Amino acid sequence: MEFKKTAPYVLGVDLGGTNVRAAIFNKEGKILGSGRAPSLATEGIQNTVSQIISAAKNAIANAEVKADEVAGMGIGVPGHIDVAGGTVLWAPNFFEQGQPYRNVALAHPIEAQLNLKVLMGNDANVAALGEFRFGAGRDIRNMVMVTLGTGIGGGIILDGKLWTGATGGAGEIGHMIIAAGERGGAAAYGSLESMGQIAAIVERAARKISMGRKTLLNDKVDYDWHLLTPKDIAEAAEAGDALSLEVYEETGYYIGLGIASMVNLLNPELVVIGGGVSQSGDLIMEPIRRSAKANAIKTLIDACPIVLAELGDDAGIYGGASLVLDAVEG
């Protein structure tokens, strides 16, 4: 199946562990209509495919366009993706018969039911492509994006193109080893993800509280640190709480180490920070910038601003649309 190169619209899809979001775009990047459905990530491939198709059909209907006017669909999927084969090689948060996806054909059943060419990519890579084409990176050619949340992901744009590596697995920034630390989720000991993800932020605050230090956080969670959330820590930090400010300073230090390594390795023009943790703004961004500046080669980091993403939660659907636009435009 081929893309309909003369069709005026494209479909971008962001497949998450909780929801699947879809949107119809014109070729200038304007959203004309959107759809959403639960992703049913633990209920098997057939159910997840049905939800993707439901969200896509809703987006087409809400945009008031015809299906044959859509050039194709681009999907961001969490995991290691075989782009050419339309296969999910590994996705730890999606399950088939109780086991994480391994070598699961995802693109072809969607193509068969929607009669649309489907192109997939890793979700963080695809979000980076969206920011590059329509967001913070739209005026540059070389960019690194880091997404901070439950895990840490990323994407790399080199010379105007998404770099996916030999087997589609490039850009796993969260798996860089930066320090001796604790294991976090699917990440290795001492990885950027294990030191900078949401769980690490909460655990860092909890360790400090357990030392008996005075903090506004005790008032928020009645001395039970298991109830802490990153929002609690951010609010306390904004109120001047010393313990919470330390948590952000230390977290930003580790994230900055990872960014410094990427800057030294790739010499990008821009580093874009997205994901839920980035919503704390300067609380996390300023420590990140200080750490990156202190640990990267000066001439490289001086030429590389570190900025917040612009597209927020929509980066994935913009990136999905960008996959199709890039393919259609050659």
CATH C-level class of 9-131+314-329: alpha beta
Nearest to 129 by CA among 118, 151, 145: 145
Q: Which of 68, 66, 63, 52 is nearest to 25 (CA)?
A: 63
Question: How would DSSP label each residue in 92-148?
Answer: EEEEETTEEESSEE-HHHHHHHHT--EEEEEHHHHHHHHHHHHSTTTT-S-EEEEEE
pLDDT at residue 186 in the model: 52
Amino acid at residue number 75: I
Tokens 């943790």 belong to 277
Residue 153's pLDDT is: 92
What pLDDT is recorded for position 136? 98
Evaluate whether 9-131+314-329 and 137-309 have a shared fold: yes
pLDDT at position 187:
56
Question: Where in the chain are the domains?
Answer: 9-131+314-329, 137-309
Contact of 161 with 74, CB cutoff 8 Å: no
pLDDT score recorded for residue 226: 79
39 and 17 Cβ atoms separated by less than 8 Å: yes
CB atoms within 10 A of CB 165: 11
> What's the pLDDT at 185?
52
For residue 174, what are its two tokens? 């969260």
Mean pLDDT by 10 residues, the chain (330 residues): 95 96 97 98 96 98 97 96 93 91 96 96 96 96 95 95 92 89 60 93 92 90 81 96 98 97 98 95 98 98 98 96 93
For residue 133, what pLDDT is reported? Answer: 97
Q: What is the CATH number of domain 137-309?
A: 3.30.420.40
